[in-house]
Amino acid sequence: MKPQHVLSDGSVTIRGQAVPYQAESGTLIVHPEGWDDANPDPKAPQAVASIFYVAYFKKGAHAENRPITFVYNGGPGSATVWLHMGALGPKRVVTSDDVHTPAAPYKLVDNDDSLLDSTDLVFIDAPGTGFGRVIGKDRDKAFYGTDPDAAAFTDFIAQFLARHGRYNSPKYLFGESYGTTRSAIIANALANEKGIDLNGVILLSQILNYGNSIDRAQGNPSNDQPYVLGLPSFAATAWYHHKLPDQPADLKAFLAEVEHFALTDYTSALQDGTGISDEKLKATAEKLHRYTGLPVDYLIKADLRVNGGEFAKTLLGDEGQDTGRLDSRFSGPSLDPLAQRPAYDPQSAAMESAYVAAFNDYARKTLHYGADPSFGDGYMEYRVSAHSIGKWSFTHKQPDQRGPARGEPNVLPDLAMAMKTNPSLQVMLNQGYYDLGTPYFEGVYEMRHLPIPRALAKNIEIKQYASGHMVYAHLPALKEMHDNVSQFIARTHPKSS
C-alpha cells in the first residue's frame, strides 16, 4: 500500500456566489494505535489501512485564513457518502423527502447548500470503507473498535495537515451519529497527544454516552434515563403521523410540554419502580397516551417503558407499517407484524441506492478516481460499509482512566477534557426532532451534563430541525443547517475567506 491521489477542478454556486475549487481524491496510509516504525512492537497488530478521502480546496484562498473541516459519518464502519452527497459537498443527489426514492436514473445537482463557501472540506471514509482497504494480521483488532478507530482518524488528520501545509489553518471536525462519538475522542487526542487545538467541533445527531441509548434500554434495567430522553422524539413522531388523541397545532410548544413532563412526572413514575401505586401507573400511562398515541393498556403492560424499536413497530402497527428509526417521518410495510421491532429501517431503504449510484458515477466520471493505471483494469469497489459492527469492540478508555478500556463508550469526559485544555474550543450540536436512533433530547441532556465548569457551557450551541437523523434529507432543514453552521464557523473564525 502507498498513498495516492488524483486532482480535478470544479466550481459550484452557493447562494449566488461562485466558488471555484480543486478536488483531491486519494488515500493515506495509517497504522494501528501506538505503531512506531523506528521501534516496532512485535505484540502490536500487524495491520495497515489505506483511508480514502475526497478533499475540496477553494482556489485562491490563503491557508492561514481559510478554515478546513474534516467530515465523516458514523456506523461505526460507514463511509462518508451520506454527508458528502447529501449535505456538504459541491454536488447533491436528489431524493424524495419522506417516502422511497424511485430507482435510477437519479439526479445529481449543484449543491446550493455546500459548506465550501465557508470552509475547505475533507470527507474521510472509515477504515475498510470507500476505496480504502484494511490488510494484514489482526486487522479487525487493529481498526475495528472505538479507540483504534479514533486513533486511525487522529493519525489521518495529523498526516493530512502536515502533507497539505494546513497546520496553521482554523480547524474543525464535523461528525454525524457515531461520528460524534469519534469526534469527542479525536478532539481530545489531537489537543493532548498531537498538540493540535481545534477551533470547533460540529456534532450532528449526537450520541456520546451509549448508556442513554433508547435502542438498548431494556438491556440495562434500573437505568430509566433512556426512556425519559427518548419520549420527546416519540411525541414528535406521533405528531407528524397524526396519531395523537388531541393534535396540537404547534410542534415546538408541544415538545416543550413533553420535555417538562419527561423530566418531572414521568421521571418520578419510573423512579418508583415496582413500588408505583396503581393510581400513579394509570395516570402516567394516560398522559403517555396523550403524548405518544400508544394505547393505555399497551403502556401499562410495558410498565411505562417502551424502547425505540417497540415504538417504531407499534405506532403505525394497525396500518401494517413500521416507522423509520433514523427518520421517523418515513414508514414502510412491516415484514413481520408480530415482531417486537422492525426488521429494517424504512428511511435507509428509501435512499441508500440513490446515494450509492450517485457517488459511484461521480467518483469515476467527475473526480476521475480509479482511472489511473495503478488500478489495473480501472475498477475498484466503493464500499459503503465495512460490515464491521459485529466485530466492533465498543470498549473505551477515558482520559486519565487507569487500567484497561471498559464498558460501552461514554466519551463525555473526552470532549470535556478537550474543552478544559482548550477553553476557546466551541461546540455546535445539530439535531432532528424525528430521530429515533439518537433522540434530540438525549443530546441536550448530554450537553447539559458534560463535566465542565459552568462558565464553559457558553461555548456550546444547539440547533434543532424538523427532520430526522440525516437532517439534510429534508431540504428546508439542510438550508437551515448550512446557514447555522456557516455562522458558527464565521463566529469562531471571523477572518475566514
- Chain centroid to Cα 14, Å, comes to 24
Residue 207 lies in a domain: yes
Cα 37 to Cα 244: distance, rounded to the nearest angstrom:
62
What domain count does the chain have?
2
How many other C-beta atoms are found inside a 10 Å radius of the C-beta of residue 219?
A: 9
Give the CATH number for residue 415. 3.40.50.1820
Name the DSSP letter for residue 459.
G
Domain boundary pick from 294, 323, 347? 347
**Final residue of a structural domain among 303, 330, 347:** 347
- Residue 145 CA, distance from chain mean position: 17
Question: 178: part of which helix (H) or strand (E)?
Answer: helix 178-193
Find out whether 294 and 311 touch, Cβ atoms under 8 Å.
yes
pLDDT tens for 401-414 read: 888 888 889 999 99
Proportion of the chain above pLDDT 90, given as a percent: 84
Which helix (H) or strand (E) element contains residue 259? helix 251-261
Q: Which DSSP string do the residues of 465-487 spell out, in sequence order?
A: ESS-SSGGGSHHHHHHHHHHHHH
pLDDT in the model for residue 296: 98
* pLDDT in the model for residue 216: 83
* pTM score: 0.95
The low-confidence residues of the chain, meaning pLDDT below 50, are 496-497
Residue-by-residue DSSP string for 355-382: HHHHHHHHHHHTS-TT-SGGGTTT----
173 and 69 in contact (C-beta within 8 Å)?
Answer: yes
> Which sign does the torsion angle of CA 487, 490, 493, 494 carry?
negative
What pLDDT sits at residue 388?
A: 78
Q: Would you state the pLDDT for residue 496? A: 45
Question: Please, are residues 37 and 136 in contact by the beta-carbon 8 Å criterion?
Answer: no
Question: pLDDT of 85-131, one tens digit each?
Answer: 999 999 999 999 988 999 999 999 999 999 999 999 999 999 999 99
What does the alpha-carbon distance between residue 464 and residue 474 come to, in Å, rounded to a whole number?
Answer: 13
Q: What range does the domain containing 382 cover?
A: 4-211+352-492
Q: How far is residue 76's CA from residue 480's CA, in Å, rounded to a whole number?
A: 27
SS3 279: helix
Domain identity same for 319 and 359 = no
**Residue 166 sits in the same domain as residue 225:** no
Cis peptide before 453 (omega within 30 of 0): no
Tell me: do 325 and 440 sit in the same domain. no
Alpha-carbon span 356 to 76, nearest angstrom: 18
Residue where a domain terminates, one of 347, 363, 379 = 347
Query: How far is the CA of 302 from the CAs of 227, 285, 307, 310, in angstroms?
Result: 12, 10, 10, 10
Assigned domain for 255 exists: yes
Residues 361, 463, single domain; the answer is yes
Give residue 411's pLDDT.
98
Q: Is residue 123 assigned to a domain?
A: yes
Nearest partner of 173 among 246, 69, 97, 273, judged by Cα: 69
Residue 497: what pLDDT? Answer: 45
